[in-house]
Amino acid sequence: MHPIEILERYWNHTSFRPLQEEIITSVLENEDTFALLPTGGGKSVCFQIPALIKDGICIVVSPLIALMKDQVNTLKQKGIKAIALTSGLSYKDLDTQLDNCIYGNYKFLYLSPERLQQPLVQERIQQMKVNLIAIDEAHCISQWGNDFRPAYKNINTLRELHPHTNCIALTATAKHNVVADIITNLDFINPKIYKASFGRPNIAYGVLHTDDKLFQLEYILNRYKGSSIIYVRNRRATTNIHNYLESKGFASTYYHGGITNKEKQERLQQWTNDQKPIMIATTAFGMGIDKANVKTVIHYNLPESLESYYQEAGRAGRNGELAHAIVLKQRIDEDHLRNQFLATLPSIDFLKVVYNKLCNYFQISYGEGENSTHQFDFKSFCSNYNLSASMTYNALLLLDRNAIITLTQHFNFRTKVQFVISNAALFQYLETHIDLNVLVKVLLRTYGGIFDYETKVNLSLVIQKSNFSEKQVIEKLQYLEKDGIISLQMANTDSEITFLKPREDDITINPIAKIIEQQHQLKHDQIEAVLSYTKNDTECRSQQLLKYFGERTKAKCGICSVCEKGKFIKNDTLNLSISSKILSALQNEDLSSRQLIQTILCSEQQLLKSLSELMETKKIKITLANTYKLL
């Protein structure tokens, strides 16, 4: 079957995006292929279509669990058989899923680079008829790449298991040295290399310097109506800005890692269908989502790297129409960025302390602990050892990224219940404990096998069905346990930790020390690049971004905040000086700076400069009500 027929059949498109067809052809000709397609370029199609045409199964290595799940669900909806080996699988389930890949006519097996190191996984992959090896987010294999993961270095195992199978590496952001590193590490021989331009001529990049971000946010959303994403730094900000915008009459919703899967799906649906066109989100949002009509992407806080900024900003304007990517910057934002991402980088010594305390916390003996999993209360851990929360969290992320531990964040109760008496004895007990009747019946009706084995219980669901508060449900469960009616495992935790290596204290950390120091330096360089971008108000912003990724052009974009020379938020009023407009606006009434900026449609800096000049020349004055008045 021809690639275009597959595209029409499963994706309902009649033509490919730039470079997709060339990349697919290269893969079908069994060439090792490198594809650098900026965000929104349709990378997944480049390996999915040839894998569907070829006989056998495609193995996809990806570091992003959420993206793996999304792609597998999307493939299943198209009637394509796909499996993702995510965390939390029991040995039995893993064994079954791998057997399905060998005997069940599956077309795609998604797995993490860490999962690839398991002997069982390697053994079964060797038995599969592998038609293609796809390495997604391939920049993770390079020590110079954004989000380097040492486990990616072991992907060559796949090439050893299937030496005659070709490989495709895909990424959206990679500088020249990172591309070279990827090709070397994956042992590519005479690879076909395809690089799309990083240029997005329909995106107007902008940096707005302001002391009133909420006002600018409201102004931009009114100016550019349509689907928008507002990126913020933390969860609290998502709810605060959502509440503010709703109070101003905007239809918005919010998204972060702490909401339930059901809430994520509902809110994504509302945003996708434009019921709630404005999405306020942490950077957990957007990966794998292809919404074509996003009009504006606003960074309420400075991004942590130009790599992540380019990906997030690139979610705007995928339909080819004019879109805006705007960074809002206050004077204090530089200090905030450095404090958040540089001041909290853990030293090697601190990393060793955290690892040692972690082992002690779970009472792991020297030489033990490999593959053991533990419920983890992060706040309790930091409190027990008097550790800085931000520094400790970053240390845990480093241990996770460097395959010392796996950190899984749940943000919910992990509760297991089993009734340990007979059905008859239970109802006899309830005759004298009437207050427990409702809770017990909810458990029995919701969880069928709760008499036979320990059953994971969703406390939120039990609370909802029983109409009890969380505290009441927990107290009643504890009472049932005390009376010997149930066995109860309850961990009020926010995370789960799996130790991937046996405890050897400093010996465990020393091999990764040099890599971590190198990554710290990379993070310093990335932060400085972001600050340089926001400060550079003389060079076309599109040119700045292209230069960062090693692509040079003499052509200016003509639409960014630099090219527009202060008219980034376009001014449709008469072509008068700002001072004249201010004097004209104050003829009828006294106005505040906010009211003036809405009337005049200029930048905040332009307005404040003109107001200052007009006051110095005694043409206007400021009133006690903080409004401006003609003299």
Alpha-carbon distance of 162 to 423, in angstroms, equals 55
Determine the length of the chain: 631
CA separation for the pair 67, 287 (Å, rounded): 7
- Listing DSSP states for 176-191 in one string gives HHHHHHHHHHTT-SS-
Report residue 133 as tokens: 């090896």
This prediction's pTM: 0.72
State whether 141 and 183 are in the same domain: yes
How many C-beta atoms lie closer than 10 Å to residue 330's C-beta?
15
* CB 582, CB 619: distance < 8 Å: no
529 in a domain, yes or no? no
Residue 568 lies in a domain: no
- Residue 403 phi/psi, 5-degree rounding, is 60, 35
Q: Same structural domain for residues 164 and 253?
A: no
What's the chain's average pLDDT? 88
Q: Same structural domain for residues 223 and 270? A: yes
- Is residue 27 in a domain? yes
Q: What is the predicted pLDDT for the residue at 346?
A: 94
User: Is 405 found in the same domain as 314?
Assistant: no
Is pLDDT above 50 for 375?
yes
Report how many domains make up the chain.
5
Rounded distance between C-alpha atoms, residue 86 and residue 115, angstroms = 8
State whether 170 and 300 are in the same domain.
Answer: no
What is each CA distance from 194 to 20, 142, 167, 178, 235, in whole angstroms? 9, 18, 14, 14, 38
pLDDT at 510 over 50: yes
Q: Is 554 within 8 Å of 208 (Cβ atoms)?
A: no
For residue 601, the tally of other CB atoms under 10 A from its CB is: 17
Pair 114, 500: CB distance under 8 Å: yes
What is the token pair recorded at 346?
Answer: 């853990």
Nearest Cα neighbor of 577 from 618, 609, 615 is 609
What is the bridge-based pairing of β-strands 82-85 and 108-111? parallel
- Going by their DSSP bridges, the two strands 130-135 and 167-171 should be labelled as parallel
What per-residue confidence (pLDDT) applies to 491? Answer: 62
Q: Please check whether residue 556 lies inside any domain of the structure.
A: no
Other CB atoms within 10 Å distance of the CB of residue 108: 25
> Per-residue b/e over 245-282, b at no fewer than 16 CB within 10 Å?
beeeebebbbbbeebeeeebeebbebbeeeebbbbbbb
Residues 17 and 141 both lie in one domain: yes
Q: Which amino acid is at 69?
A: K
Cα-atom radius of gyration of the chain, to the nearest Å? 28
Q: Which residue has 């699988």 as its token pair?
A: 89
If we measure between CA atoms, which residue out of 536, 71, 517, 545 comes closest to residue 308?
Answer: 545
**Neighbour count for residue 136 (Cβ, 10 Å):** 22
Predicted pLDDT at 572: 37
Q: What is the model's pLDDT at position 573? A: 36
Query: Over 526-594, what HEC string results?
Result: HHHHHHHHHHCCCCCHHHHHHHHCCCCCCCCCCCCCCCCCCCCCCCCCCCCCHHHHHHHHCCCCCECHH
Could you give the CA distance from residue 24 to residue 3 in angstroms, rounded to a whole number? 8
Q: Is residue 151 part of a domain?
A: yes
pLDDT tens digit string along 548-584? 988 888 889 999 999 987 565 544 333 346 787 888 8
Instruction: Read off the pLDDT band of 162 (50, 70, 90).
Output: very high
Q: Give the CATH number of the domain where residue 612 resides.
A: 1.10.10.10
Q: In this predicted structure, what is the pLDDT of residue 231?
A: 97
379-399 as b/e: b if 16+ CB within 10 A = eebbeeeebeeebbbbbbebb
Q: CATH code at 402?
A: 1.10.10
369 and 487 inside one domain: no
In this predicted model, what pLDDT tens digit does every residue of 257-296 receive, in sequence order? 778 778 888 999 999 999 999 999 998 787 767 788 999 9
CB atoms within 10 A of CB 86: 16
User: Does some domain include residue 560?
Assistant: no
Task: Tell me, yes or no, whether 156 and 173 share the same domain.
Answer: yes
* 318 neighbors 291 (Cβ within 8 angstroms): yes
Task: Kindly state the average pLDDT of the residues 380-403.
Answer: 90
What's the DSSP call for residue 291? -
Round to whole Å and give the CA distance between 414 and 496.
10
Separation between Cα atoms, residue 206 and residue 200, nearest integer Å: 13
Q: Which residue is it, tokens 């945003």?
A: 271
pLDDT band at 304 (very low <50, low <70, confident <90, very high): very high
Cα separation, 90 vs 153, in Å, equals 26
**pLDDT score for 420:** 92
Identify whether residues 502 and 486 lie together within a single domain. no
Please provide the distance, in angstroms rounded to a whole number, between the alpha carbons at the two ends of the chain: 79
3-state SS record for 223-279: HCCCEEEEECCCHHHHHHHHHHHHHCCCCEEEECCCCCHHHHHHHHHHHHCCCCCEE
Residues 6+ apart with CB under 8 A from 93: none
Same domain, residue pair 313 and 268: yes
Is 555 inside a domain boundary?
no
**144-148, 335-339, 404-408: least confident range:** 144-148
DSSP-derived pairing of the beta strands 628-630 and 620-622: antiparallel
The Cα–Cα gap between 307 and 146 comes to 7
State which of 144, 169, 195 marks the end of a domain.
195
Give me the residue label for tokens 């033990």.
Answer: 368
Yes or no: say if 323 and 316 are a contact pair by the CB < 8 Å rule: yes
For residue 322, the one-letter residue type is: L
Structural domain including 351 reads: 340-411+495-522
Do both 481 and 615 map to the same domain? no
Task: State residue 88's pLDDT score.
Answer: 62
What is the CB-side half-sphere exposure of residue 9 using CA atoms within 13 A?
Answer: 13
347 domain residue, yes or no: yes
Which phi and psi angles does 239 have, rounded to 5°? -75, -40
Q: Which tens digits make up the pLDDT trace of 10-33?
A: 998 889 988 999 999 999 999 999
Are 375 and 504 in a shared domain? yes
pLDDT attached to residue 411: 46
